[in-house]
Chains A and B, each alone.
Chain A
Amino acid sequence: MSMRVPDQPTCREIVELVTDYLEGQLPVGERTLFEQHLVYCDWCRVYLEQMRQTIRMAGEVSEESLSPETREELVRLFRGWKGKK
């Protein structure tokens, strides 16, 4: 680790830039500073990894299948619509 250079982001600033970084919305200059910070800061690398893991966890919240009751109700709704048109 090195001494802080004035225009380098602090860890506290890095955690607020993570989403812009992951979304590819950081201007080139800031992106470079962000990535330079990650090179020497293990903790911010852990933080970034946890944000990625959080996104993956959210993506797994989607397992329930259609219940037979719902399926039947929707088919009824479809037949009703078809009969009217």
Chain B
Amino acid sequence: MAGQPHPEETELIVALRQGDEGAFLTVVRRYHAPMVRIARAFVGSDAVAEEVAQESWLAVLEGLAGFEGRSSLRSWMFSIVANRARTRAQREARSVPMSSFGDEDEGPAVDPERFLPPDHPRWPGHWATPPERWADEQLAVHETVELARRAMQALPPAQRQVIVLRDVEGCSSEEVCQALGVSDGNQRVLLHRARSKVRAILEVQLRRTA
């Protein structure tokens, strides 16, 4: 996770404004991969995501003079890349009517079939098919991380955008709301749907390989 903004940020910003190439490479090494991943949560291919990230770097450089430090450099850059990626995704999907949450389902976190019915005499709404503990060895392997990555990629766009920012890049809920222009409540609903679905996919696969 990216964690908290780095403390030497003010110095970096000053150096960047002065055109210090070393400072630029420092921020590129730190933030290029996250910017590509964020862009990829909006657009349809790795190549387009890379392109959006590169355009965003130029927008960052051009916007530096006006950057007032009201948010961290990271939040500010993530907002830039999210906005550009959103515009790009809308252009890509020109023929499809765009409503930001239109494609989000409101299904439950867990298949209702896995719970006892509400009229069960003793245990209404309790687990009928409970989850089984995952083995540490299964979680330690790279394949499981890869599985999580693919599960996130398969989510509806708004859910994917929130989980990538929160759980992959380690942004705070405030940063996510700012970057995506959603309310805190909405952000949490999307995060809940996203995490619940990724868990469900991991569960199916880990049971298969157990």
Contacts and interface: CB of A to CB of B under 8 A. Distances in A.
Contacts of B167: 55, 58-59
18 contacts: A10-B124, A11-B115, A12-B110, A13-B125, A15-B108, A15-B109, A15-B110, A41-B126, A46-B130, A47-B130, A50-B134, A58-B163, A58-B195, A61-B145, A74-B54, A75-B25, A78-B57, A81-B58
A55 B195 contact: yes
Given A50-B203, A61-B145, A78-B24, A66 B58 contact: no
A61 B168 contact: yes
Given A25-B188, A78-B24, A66 B32 contact: yes
Interface bin, chain A? 35 or more
A14 B91 CA distance: 40
A77 B106 CA distance: 43
Contacts of A42: 130
A57 B144 contact: yes
Contacts of B147: 57
A50 B199 contact: yes
Which A-B residue pairs are the 10 nearest by beta carbons? A10-B125, A58-B167, A43-B130, A19-B192, A57-B148, A12-B125, A82-B19, A54-B199, A12-B115, A81-B61
Contacts of B28: 66, 71, 74
A24 to B, nearest CB: 10
A60 B108 contact: no
Interface residues of B, number: 56
A13 B125 CA distance: 8
Contact of B127 (A11, A59, A74): A11
Contact of B25 (A13, A55, A71): A71
Nearest to A49: B133
Contact of A75 (B21, B125, B195, B198): B21
B125 A61 contact: no
Contacts of B127: 11, 41, 43-44
A18 interface: yes
Contacts of A78: 21, 24, 57, 61
Interface in A33-64: 41-44, 46-47, 49-51, 53-55, 57-62, 64
